[in-house]
Amino acid sequence: MNTNLNEAFIVSKRYDKRGNPIAYVDPNKPENKDTFKYKDVFKNHGAKWDNENRYWFWYIGKTKDQWQNVYTKFIEPALKAVHSQEGATEEQSKESLIASLDAVIGEVQAAPTTGGEDGLTPDDKKNVVDRLAKFKETLVNLDNDEEFKKTMQILTAFKNAQGHSYSFTNTILIWIQNPNAKLVKSEINWHKFNRTIVDKSKKMWVRSPSRSALQKYSKEQEQQIINKFLQLANKKTYNELTAGEKERLGVILRGRMVKPQFEFTPVYDVTNTAQIEGKENLLGDYEKHNEIKWFEENMLSDEVRPVYNALMEFAKENGIEVNIVDDLGGARGSSASGKIELLKSEGNDVGITKTLAHEITHELLHQTYLKQKGSKYAQYFIGTSQGRDLVEQQAELSAWMVLASYGFNLKTTSLNYAAIWGADKEAMIRVFDTVTGVVNMLLDYINEHMSNNPIKSTEPTKEPAEMSEAVAPSIKQARHVTPMDVAKILGVTSEYEQILNQSKEKMLENFNRLIKKSIL
Amino acid sequence: MKGSKKIKSVKNAKSVKNAQPINPMDLAKVLGVEKEYVEALFEQQLKKNKKIIMCDDFENKKNNIINNDK
C-alpha cells in the first residue's frame, strides 16, 4: 500500500521487444507515480528510459547471478536513493522554496492574459506576482530556521485543512491570495457538490496542468484506473462514490502528465459558494469538521446508542454471550472466549460502548471461541502469543478507532505504541493490518445495522415533519478522523507537530521535484 | 441532569453517521509512527522487489513479445 509518501517503487520483470530480460518500473501501477521526477537518480544508477513505453528499466542479463548483481548494485541503490531524497537541511529547503517561488512567478508572468470571466487578466497577474514576491521577501528576511519552521507549519496546517489535495505550490498560491480560505475548488468541482459561486470576482488562481501537457488514457486504461479506484474506495460502482471521491477520480482521469506545462485556472473558497436549492447537500456539515467533540469517559450521549446496539447485535449473532453486570471490581468489561461481561448501562454510555468494542475485538483477535466454531470471522484470529501488553493495545486501539470513526473521540492515556513497535517494523505492519481489518469489518457491520435500524425518537415532537425525520434519520457518510484530531485527544499535539516537521522533509522533496520539473 | 454527566437530546442521535473505512497509514499517523511505518513498508517492498527479480517468471513470454509489444 503505497501512498503519497515516498515508499519504494515496485519493480517488474519482462522481456523487451528484442528479447532481452529487463527489470522495469511499471508506470501503470498506481504506486509507481511520477518516476520521471527522479530521472537523475535513475540515470546515475544505470537505468535507461524507454520513451515508447514510458518507463525506466535496467538490462538484467540472462543468468540468476547477473540478476542478483544488477539488483544489488543498481536497482536497490536507485530505490534507496529515491527514498533518501526525503532528507534535506533547513537552509536547503528555504533555498528550494525561494527557487520554486521564483519559478512560479516566472510562470505567472509568462501566462497568457485571455481575460473574460475565467481568464487571467493583467491585473490578476500583477496581483498574484506582487503577493508571491512579498512572500518571497518575507522568507528571505527570516532570521533563523525556527522562524522558517513556523512558517512551514502554518503552510502545512493550511494545506492539511484543505479538502482538496493541492500541491504545495498551489497551497502557497491560495494562501497568499486568501489566508482565510477554508475549502477551495474550481467552479466545475463545486457544481459536483451542488453548489454555485456567489461572487465570481472573488476568484483565486491556481496552477494546473495545461491540456497539451496531459496525455489521455486509452479507454482500457481508464477502465483499469476506475476499477482500481473503486477497489481502494471499497465501492462497487461509480455512482456509489462520494462527490469528493468523484472529484479525485476526475483529476486522475484527466490524463498522464507528459511535460511540465501549466496554465492558471480560477478557484473559489467555500465561503463564496451557495447550496443549489432543491439539490442534495453533499458538502455536509463542513464547518463542524473542524470542531472536535470531547467525550470524557463515563459521558452519556444518545448519539452512541446505535453503535452500542449494533455491537450488542454483533455479539448476539455470533453466539458471544454478553452478561450485563452491576460491578466488575473497578473494570468495565472482560472477555473469556465466547463470554463477555460488561458493566450495566442504558446503552448511551460512550465509555462502556468503547469497552464493548474492546471486548469484541478480543473475541475476534485473541480468543479462540469464534475460531473453534468455524465462524466466518475466524480469519481475524491472531492469538495471544505476542504478549499481554500487545494484545491489550490491539484491542484498545481497535475499540478507540471504531468509536473515533463515529465522532466519539475518547480521551485516553493508555496509548504508547511507538515504544512497542519502534524496534520491530514487520510486527508493526502486521499489527496495523490486523487492526485495520478488524476495525473496518466492525464499521461495515455497524453501518449496515444503523441503516437497517434507524433510531426511533422517544420524545414526542411537535411538528409531524420533525417526527418523520427523527424516526427515519438520513444516514450520511462521516469524514475520516484526522491525525491532528487524534493527537489532540491523546494529548500528544507536540509530538504530532514533530511528525509534521518530519512531513516537512517530504515537502522539501516536493520543492526539489518542482524545481527539477521547471528545469526539464 | 445531575453530576458531571451530560445527556444530549435524543434527536441528536440522527447525527451519528456511517463511518468510513480506515487504513494502516491512518493508524500510523494516529500513533505518531508514520515515518517508521513508511520505513517498514519501504524495506518490505525492497524484499518483494528482490524476489521478483530473482524468480524465474517473466511477465511476458519471450516467444510472444513481437506480437504483444507495441
In chain B, the residue whose alpha carbon lies closest to the alpha carbon of A441 is B21
pLDDT in tens, A290-339: 443 445 556 788 888 999 999 999 999 999 999 998 887 777 888 888 99
Residue A504 has pLDDT above 80, yes or no: no
Nearest to A12 among B18, B28, B59 (CB): B59
Would you tell me how many other CB atoms lie within 10 Å of the CB of residue B53?
Answer: 22
Distance CA A295, CA A299 (A): 6
Question: Looking at residue A368, what is its pLDDT?
Answer: 92
Question: Looking at residue A88, what is its pLDDT?
Answer: 42
- Which residues does A184 contact at the CB level (< 8 Å), separation at least 6? A162, A164, A166, A174, A204, A206, A267, A268, A269, A270
Distance CA A36, CA A41 (A): 10
B19 and A443: CB-CB below 8 Å?
Answer: yes
A306 and B13: CB-CB below 8 Å?
Answer: yes
Check: CB of residue A59 under 8 Å from CB of residue A70: yes
A76 and B28: CB-CB below 8 Å?
Answer: no
Which residues in chain A have Cβ-Cβ distances shorter than 8 Å to B24? 1, 429, 432-433, 435-436
Give the least confident one: A114-123, A375-384, A470-479, A509-518.
Answer: A470-479
Check: CB of residue B18 under 8 Å from CB of residue A447: yes
Check: CB of residue A350 under 8 Å from CB of residue A295: yes
- For A47-109, what is the HEC assignment? CEEECCCCEEEEECCCCHHHHHHHHHHHHHHHHHHHHHCCCCCHHHHHHHHHHHHHHHHHHHH
B34 and A487: CB-CB below 8 Å?
Answer: no
Distance CA A365, CA A212 (A): 52
Check: CB of residue A16 under 8 Å from CB of residue B65: yes
Question: Looking at residue A70, what is its pLDDT?
Answer: 93
B15 and A303: CB-CB below 8 Å?
Answer: yes
Which residues in chain A have Cβ-Cβ distances shorter than 8 Å to B10? 302, 455, 457-459, 470
Q: How confident is the model at residue A172 (pLDDT cuts 50, 70, 90)?
A: confident
Confirm whether pTM is higher than 0.80.
no
The three cell numbers locating residue A238: 461509480
Which residues in chain A have Cβ-Cβ distances shorter than 8 Å to B49? 8, 10-11, 71, 75-76, 79
Q: Which residue has the higher pLDDT, A414 or A472?
A: A414
pLDDT in tens, A264-279: 899 999 889 999 988 8
Q: How confident is the model at residue A4 (pLDDT cuts 50, 70, 90)?
A: very low
Question: Looking at residue A377, what is its pLDDT?
Answer: 92
Would you tell me how many other CB atoms lie within 10 Å of the CB of residue A161?
Answer: 15
A425 and B49: CB-CB below 8 Å?
Answer: no
Question: Does any CB of chain B come closer than 8 Å to the CB of residue A365?
Answer: no
Which residues in chain B have Cβ-Cβ distances shorter than 8 Å to A25? none
In chain B, the residue whose alpha carbon lies closest to the alpha carbon of A467 is B11
Nearest to A303 among B8, B53, B58 (CB): B8
Q: Which residue has the higher pLDDT, A410 or A66?
A: A66
Average pLDDT score over residue span B19-45? 76
Average pLDDT score over residue span A106-116? 82
Residue with cell 476568484: A203
In chain A, the residue whose alpha carbon lies closest to the alpha carbon of B48 is A10
Distance CA A276, CA A280 (A): 8
In the predicted model, what is the mean pLDDT of chain A? 76
ipTM of model:
0.71
pLDDT in tens, A209-238: 888 888 888 999 899 889 888 876 667 888
A interface mutation test: which of B4, B27, B60 has the most A CBs within 10 A? B27
A470 and B11: CB-CB below 8 Å?
Answer: yes
The three cell numbers locating residue A402: 471504531
Check: CB of residue A365 under 8 Å from CB of residue A438: yes
The region, left, alpha or beta by phi > 0 then psi within -120 to 50, assigned to residue A19 is: left
Average pLDDT score over residue span A475-497? 43
DSSP 3-state assignment of A142? coil
Would you tell me how many other CB atoms lie within 10 Å of the CB of residue A310?
Answer: 22
Q: How confident is the model at residue A3 (pLDDT cuts 50, 70, 90)?
A: very low
- For A315-373, what is the HEC assignment? HHHCCCEEEEECCCCCCCEEECCCEEEEECCCCCEHHHHHHHHHHHHHHHHCCCHHHHC
The 10 Å CB-count burial string (b at 16+, else e) for A14-35 is bbbeeeebbbbbbbeeeebeeb
- Which of A29, A66, A24 minimizes the C-alpha distance to A49? A24
